[in-house]
Amino acid sequence: MAGALLSACLHIPSTPDDSPKISSVGVMVKQFDETRESPLKINSDEDAELIANVTPSKYRNDVKYYWYRGDNLLGEGLTYAIKTDDMASSKKIKKHIPDKLVIEDREKNRLDTTFQIIINVPPQLSTKTKPENGEILYGDSHTPILFSWQSSDRDESEQLFHILEIDGFPYNVGELQQIQQSGFTTGKHTYRILVEDSLGDKDSIPEKEFFVVDTLGVP
Amino acid sequence: MIFRISKPGFLLGLIVCAFLACTNSDEYLFNDQKAEEIEISAIITTSFDTDAEKKTADTIQPGDSLIFLTTVYPSKSIRNKQYYWTMDGGNFASEYSFKKSINVPGIHKIAFVFIDFFGDTLSDTLTITVASPPIIDTEKCIPATATQSLDPDSIIRFAWNSYDPDSLWDTFFHFVLQDSDKDTLVDTLLENAYFASRLKLSPLQKYTWSVSAYNEFNQPSRETLTASFFTSGRKGENAVTGLVGSTSDQENQNFKVVLLDSLQLPLDTFELSGNPGAELDIRPLAKGKYTLITSINRAYDFKSDTVHFSLNENQVLELDSIILTDKIPPRIQAIPQSDTLDIQDTLRFYIYDWGGAISPSKINVSYENQIRQDIFFSNDTLYVPFTKEAASQNWSYKLISVTALDPSNNRMKQIFYLRPNATLQEVFDE
């Protein structure tokens, strides 16, 4: 008995392990139900969320998260919500969009990462296109029909790629905003246009229809 | 302590001492001058032929087989612990040389690893790129083939669909625009699957454009997109184009073309020549109904062809190819005209055709199931030398057949009978 007590008293607990357990920290963007790490791009037309990503992830709930813009603390927590209004101007972007994430564990070990969020203005298609919806066009299967549309993007440096879908068949027409196509039988036909910028943000117009009438016939 | 040594033991000891004394212990020391360095190398080739090119890097298509070969210096029979191949770090093979295909697209590092008897590791690495050629849609394109009335003075925009089946490689395109004379107007490489031509074109002309796709390893698409379009005429002019040909394999045909108006009155008559076909191009024409009659000059075996067509405003109508046909075989007559002939020194036959000249090589003569090689054909007359000796005395009728093919490969075989040149009694008397 006395021996057991003596040995219990002799057991000295080891020093608590206060070395950092998290090896790295990163940031992901969640928008349109899609989460991605690269590029850190947000479509300015929709709300988005920044999510901290620590490795190993099992320690995710053991640390505190601080979102900064420069030295200004913007928020705390595993996620950081971004509203469309936060991206309405460059002034608001500087005020509301973080560029640094700091994490801190119970032992006050800190780890930080800096990042840059790309606020991408999505392309826009004008609803004014040719043929106009419901337009009646005259010709035979060899007659070229003009398809034209206009797209724009406030991020001017970006290339816009278009898909012209005629009767359900998609043509990759690249940067073209006007083409002539033939091969239309008499009757109803449909088309629609989709535009995508280099960062993958898209716009489209609803399907339009036009009618081909072969009145040329034999003179 | 006293050791007692037996006599046999003493003798054995002496022998061992003598052996050791005779052994040169230097031989057991490392001598770097005698050491041989081991070298390995790995190569690939596509054939076991000695002339086949051997490489350390190659680009293949998924499923293509390559032959992997190794060399080990001084010899593959030296003692080693292990040798094997890896692909991108994983197991690949365990033979020195073998044939294998790789199906996974990508740039692969394939290493031959050799661990020698002392545990030293040697390796040599090959780079194999596995890539599928790009695919181009040859059916759907902009403008669709045979599009009419594109303004020759405005920008013409082309677009086509293409993709990389591996989704790994960049694709570029070889775009060519040619006029109806096959003169190249645009010949360019493009990074994107569209092109806008600002070239001023001619009115009422047919233009042909083609696109081939290539990936970054210069592998071309299996198919080439080819399409054509027509430019519109100025001031509402129209045109008709097409190709005129014949079933004849004769070179340089002369075609006669007659164009009739809607009242069936001749508007134009002209000749075309071509080898083998001729391009038809009539312009400018007003809109209306027309009839086109095509024939071949002085080749009456060819049936003329009549096409009715209508022209709309600003239209270049491309007709289907007009192929004139000759279905009448050559005529073969004996001179004098009869199907029963007397044996003469030279038999003569008149062979003629109104669908083009008959080539001597397309005439055959057979006598008694033997092809005659000594025939001669000139000015529609076939000469067959025929001595009485060659015929030998015979009391029965003999058959001689003459076969001729015209330039449209219509065949005529005519059989003639040679009268007996002796009586039965004469033959038996002999």
What ranges do the domains of chain B cover?
39-130, 135-232, 236-324, 331-425
Antiparallel, parallel or unpaired: β A79-82 and A48-55: antiparallel
pLDDT at B2 over 90: no
Q: Check for a shared fold between B39-130 and B236-324.
A: yes
Amino acid B287: pLDDT = 85
The alpha-carbon gap from B275 to the nearest alpha carbon of chain A, in Å, equals 30
Q: Assign B8 a pLDDT band (cuts: 50, 70, 90).
A: low
B36: buried, middle or exposed (CB in 10 Å: 19+, 13-18, 0-12)? Answer: exposed
B220 beta partners: B214
Q: Which CATH class is domain A22-120?
A: mainly beta
Query: What's the CATH fold of domain B331-425?
Result: Immunoglobulin-like (2.60.40)
Domain B39-130: homologous superfamily in CATH: Immunoglobulins (2.60.40.10)
The alpha-carbon gap from A150 to the nearest alpha carbon of chain B, in Å, equals 16
Q: What mean pLDDT is reported for chain B? A: 86
Amino acid letter, B158: F
CB-facing half-sphere around the CA of B16: CA atoms within 13 A = 6
Instruction: In whole angstroms, give the CA distance from residue B142 to residue A164.
Output: 11
Amino acid B404: pLDDT = 94
CA geometry: angle B194, B198, B199, nearest 5 deg: 115
Q: Which of A179, A183, A219 sits opposite B159 (nearest CB)?
A: A179
Q: Looking at this predicted complex, what is its ipTM? A: 0.77
Q: Distances in Å between the alpha carbon of B398 and those of B340, B388, B402, B415?
A: 10, 13, 14, 10
Summarize the confidence of residues A207-216 as an average pLDDT: 86
Instruction: In whole angstroms, give the CA distance from residue B127 to residue B88.
Output: 10
Q: Assign A94 a pLDDT band (cuts: 50, 70, 90).
A: confident
Rg of chain A over all Cα atoms, to the nearest angstrom:
29
Chain B neighbors of A173, CB-CB under 8 A: 142, 157, 159, 194
Summarize the confidence of residues A144-169 as an average pLDDT: 89
pLDDT at B1 over 50: no
Nearest CA in chain B to A219: B288
- By the 8 A CB rule, do A136 and A210 touch? yes
pLDDT in tens, A33-60: 889 888 899 999 889 999 999 888 888 8
CATH, domain B135-232, list 1.10.3470.10, 2.60.40.10, 3.40.1360.10, 1.10.30.50: 2.60.40.10
The alpha-carbon gap from A166 to the nearest alpha carbon of chain B, in Å, equals 11
**Among B141, B151, B156, B194, the residue to mutate for chain A (most A Cβ within 10 A):** B194
Chain B neighbors of A175, CB-CB under 8 A: 192, 194
pLDDT exceeding 90 applies to what percent of chain B? 55
Amino acid B423: pLDDT = 64
Q: In a 3-state reduction of DSSP, which class is residue A51?
A: strand
Summarize the confidence of residues B311-340 as an average pLDDT: 87
The alpha-carbon gap from B169 to the nearest alpha carbon of chain A, in Å, equals 18
Amino acid B29: pLDDT = 60
Question: A219 vs B310: CB contact, 8 Å cut-off?
Answer: yes
- By the 8 A CB rule, do A113 and A190 touch? no
CA geometry: angle B303, B305, B310, nearest 5 deg: 170
Nearest CA in chain A to B150: A144
Antiparallel, parallel or unpaired: β A34-36 and A24-31: antiparallel
Instruction: In whole angstroms, give the CA distance from residue B411 to residue B413.
Output: 7
**Per-residue exposure over A90-107, b if at least 16 CB sit within 10 Å of its own CB, e if not:** eeebeebbbbbbbbebee
Instruction: Looking at A17-79, list the stretches that DSSP marks H as alpha helix, in order from N- to C-terminal side.
Output: none
- By the 8 A CB rule, do B152 and B203 touch? yes
Q: In a 3-state reduction of DSSP, which class is residue B208?
A: strand
A216 touches B at CB < 8 Å: yes
Segment 121-150 of chain A within 8 Å of chain B by CB: 140, 142-144
Domain B236-324: homologous superfamily in CATH: Immunoglobulins (2.60.40.10)
Boundaries of CATH 2.60.40.10 in chain A? 22-120, 124-213
This prediction has a pTM of 0.69
pLDDT at A4 over 60: no
pLDDT in tens, A103-131: 998 888 889 999 999 998 899 999 899 99
A165: buried, middle or exposed (CB in 10 Å: 19+, 13-18, 0-12)? Answer: middle
Q: Which CATH architecture best describes the domain A124-213?
A: Sandwich (2.60)
With CA atoms as reference, report the closest residue to A210 among A121, A153, A162, A145: A145
Instruction: In whole angstroms, give the CA distance from residue A130 to residue A191.
Output: 10
Element (H, E) at B386: none
Q: What is the dihedral of CA B270, B274, B278, B280, to 10 degrees?
A: -30
Amino acid A219: pLDDT = 40
Q: Alpha carbon B104 to chain centroid distance? A: 29
With CA atoms as reference, report the closest residue to B259 among B301, B326, B302, B322: B322
DSSP letter for each residue of B240-261: EEEEEEES---SSEEEEEEEE-
